[in-house]
Structure 1
Amino acid sequence: MIETWEGKTFQGLLNDFEPACKRLLQLSQERGILDGKTALTMKAVIAIYQRLVKNVYTLHEDKEIEFIKEIIQEKSMILTQHSITAKNRISQNAKALMRDGMTVLIHGHSSVVMHTLIKAVQRGIKFDVVVTQSLNHLGQNVKKILENHKIPTKVIQDSAIALVMPKVDCIFVGCEAVVENGGIINKIGTFTLALVAQTFQKPFYVFTESLKFMKEFPLKQDDALRLASNGNEVDIENILIDYTPPEYITLLFTSIGIFTPSAVSDELIEFFSG
């Protein structure tokens, strides 16, 4: 949109840009391109891009609109490249976690978690994975992918996590969004998993791209549900996500580094106030 926009003022660009972002979010939901996820990740990416556009203008407001458009496009390419290489950086950051003989419990189909596990086995590390069955037999799909990469994988019922927890070394999850206090919003069942992990004193690790950082501060589960449903009434028979508070998270492995929840909170505050 930026490249083809033909207006003359930055305010005009903003006036057209905001509705375009809303339309993109709407289309992503209507056309099912979110792969069964909520719109939270798309919201986070849009918010970061909006901030990028406004920051460019703040730095170059005395310049012509065509110059500003060129800078925005250059920054957009950097952002896109960051997204493309994020999984490799995260798996590199997590190298020290992986060791021979360990058993990892995972929940959901996080592409970042899967990439990290596959990269580890490609380095010659031998380990086992336990995956929760989850909705729509997602666990079976994950098992098939991992076993294609020679990773021994077992699927368990979600209700069996307390029985299995003593047998695993750690938990890996992805997320749909990292919120301002260092907590995460992710697939339903993540918070339950974190509660059980803490009971058994098992480390709970989150793997996520920094593009999923979100300037929101849910205080309770209902806040996260409303955020994911665009403020609409939540049907308790069709809940897709839950909120895991920061005190249940050991570390977050992101595309810009490894953080404790409190440190990622500081990073978020600095990012969105900068």
Structure 2
Amino acid sequence: MSSVSSSESERSESLQSDTQPGATSSSFDIYATYERFLQNEDISTPLAAILALTELVEKSNAGTMFELVKALNDGAKSLKEGTPNPISLNCGCELFVAFVSLFPHDSDTFSELKTELVKQGRSYAAEALGYRDRIADLSLGFIKDDSILTHSYSRVVMKTLLRAHKQKRISVYVTEARPRGLGFVLNVSSLAAAGIPCTVVLDSAVAYVMDNVDFVLVGSEAVVESGGLINAVGSHQMAIIAKAANKPFYALAESYKFHRLFPLSQYDLPTHNPSILSFPRTGTLSTLSAQPLSSSISQLHEVPTVPSESHSALLVPLSMTPEQIARNPDVDYTRPDLISLVISDVGHLTPEGVSQYLVGMFAG
């Protein structure tokens, strides 16, 4: 009898610990849930974060709104700690936590409220999957029979270009988007498969090609409260060149990428750390695996080059090492005065309009 009572007591204590206010099921791994959603190519980082937090609400044992918001903030913190570049993820987390905090309801019980929050979160994510189509439609009015310059890979930019190709005669210049080369790897293959004329441009040749394009079209990691843009590194210098050449610089951004962040410089971004572009303490160019410049270019771009005396004395590494890539920034900040227009699912916005929209969005 005593052993039975002891067993029942242990089960009772275990049940109480599992249902501790604000706790979440011990089997729930929010980061694994987030990565599971990311396996769907149509789901972007902010939407994956929203869906992961929605599932956290469903699994949470919180009994009050205070406990639920704390659980969401803890979950958002776990997601950010596991992500090298959390800016886009921050947008989704910030939006969902604000939504939960401001959600008007007439539920009889807190359990019913949580059920409604889960329903609304999933409904929003399903609706948001159509935002790229809406942006593509809104962008068509700005695209004629043009030559377009784009940078890095963006799903909303790609959808817009493919949509425009059905109605216009466009050609696209694509930057390499170093250090990871996403522009070359993803953009060119997708554009070529659709029959869109495209050519790869060195990141260092943007100024050279700017006179040949009608406008610049980029995606976004986030659009911030100043009306500025956070996007793949190189976007800022591209915007400066476009401004100098009097060419429009358009940014495409889903509204769930609007972020309450007000950077004043590149070093105010959450991704910045002291190791970015710092000088290595050990090792020099001569200690790296190196070979003649002409040979390096041949292997990198798979085109023949003619050796010359001026090249033979120069040694460069064949490619960037992972350490060298990590020492470079993933994203940069483009000032609002360099952006002609932000085209979003909520309409065509000037940088000032973005600020006004953000204030309204988070004011409930």
Fold similarity call, TM over 0.5: yes
Say if 2:112 is the partner of 1:71: no
Where do 1:149-164 residues align within 5 Å? 149-164=194-209
Say if 2:65 is the partner of 1:18: no
- What secondary structure sits across from 2:137 in the alignment? helix
Unaligned runs of 5+ in 1: 31-37
Shift of 1:112: 0.7
Q: Which has the higher contact order (CA 8 A, sep 6+)?
A: 1
Measured in 1, the distance between the counterparts of 2:260 and 2:108 equals 29
Give CA-to-partner distance per residue, 1:39-91, whole Å, 9 cap, x none: 211011100000011012xx338842112112212320232023211110110
Shift of 1:106: 0.3
TM-score (norm 2): 0.68
Runs of 4+, deviation exceeding 4 Å: none
Measured in 2, the distance between the counterparts of 1:272 and 1:85 equals 22
Match of 1:129 among 162, 167, 172: 172
Shift of 1:200: 0.6
Where do 1:256-267 residues align within 5 Å? 256-267=346-357
Measured in 2, the distance between the counterparts of 1:139 and 1:11 equals 44
Say if 2:151 is the partner of 1:110: no
Say if 2:265 is the partner of 1:233: no
Measured in 2, the distance between the counterparts of 1:42 and 1:95 equals 28
Contact kept, 8 Å, 1:198 with 1:248, in 2: the verdict is yes
Say if 2:63 is the partner of 1:8: yes
- What secondary structure sits across from 2:225 in the alignment? coil
Corresponding residue of 1:188: 233
Contact kept, 8 Å, 2:134 with 2:345, in 1: the verdict is yes
Corresponding residue of 2:129: 84
Corresponding residue of 1:93: 138
Q: Which amino acid aligns with 2:274?
A: E
Measured in 2, the distance between the counterparts of 1:228 and 1:85 equals 29
Measured in 1, the distance between the counterparts of 2:106 and 2:221 equals 34
Measured in 2, the distance between the counterparts of 1:78 and 1:113 equals 24
- What secondary structure sits across from 1:99 in the alignment? coil
Distance 1:140 1:62, change over 3 A: closer
Shift of 1:18: 1.7
Measured in 2, the distance between the counterparts of 1:176 and 1:11 equals 30
Measured in 1, the distance between the counterparts of 2:60 and 2:335 equals 42
Contact kept, 8 Å, 1:52 with 1:75, in 2: the verdict is no
- What secondary structure sits across from 1:2 in the alignment? helix
Give CA-to-partner distance per residue, 1:207-251, whole Å, 9 cap, x none: 011111110111112112xx124xx43412321111101000001
Q: Which amino acid aligns with 1:241?
A: V
Where do 1:164-183 residues align within 5 Å? 164-183=209-228
- What secondary structure sits across from 2:191 in the alignment? helix
Contact kept, 8 Å, 2:177 with 2:184, in 1: the verdict is no
Distance 1:223 1:61, change over 3 A: farther
Say if 2:332 is the partner of 1:242: yes
Give CA-to-partner distance per residue, 1:154-204, whole Å, 9 cap, x none: 001111111111110000001111100100111111010000000010000
Measured in 2, the distance between the counterparts of 1:190 and 1:216 equals 18
Corresponding residue of 1:33: none
Measured in 1, the distance between the counterparts of 2:267 and 2:181 equals 26
Say if 2:245 is the partner of 1:200: yes
TM-score (norm 1): 0.89
Where do 1:41-60 residues align within 5 Å? 41-56=88-103, 59-60=104-105
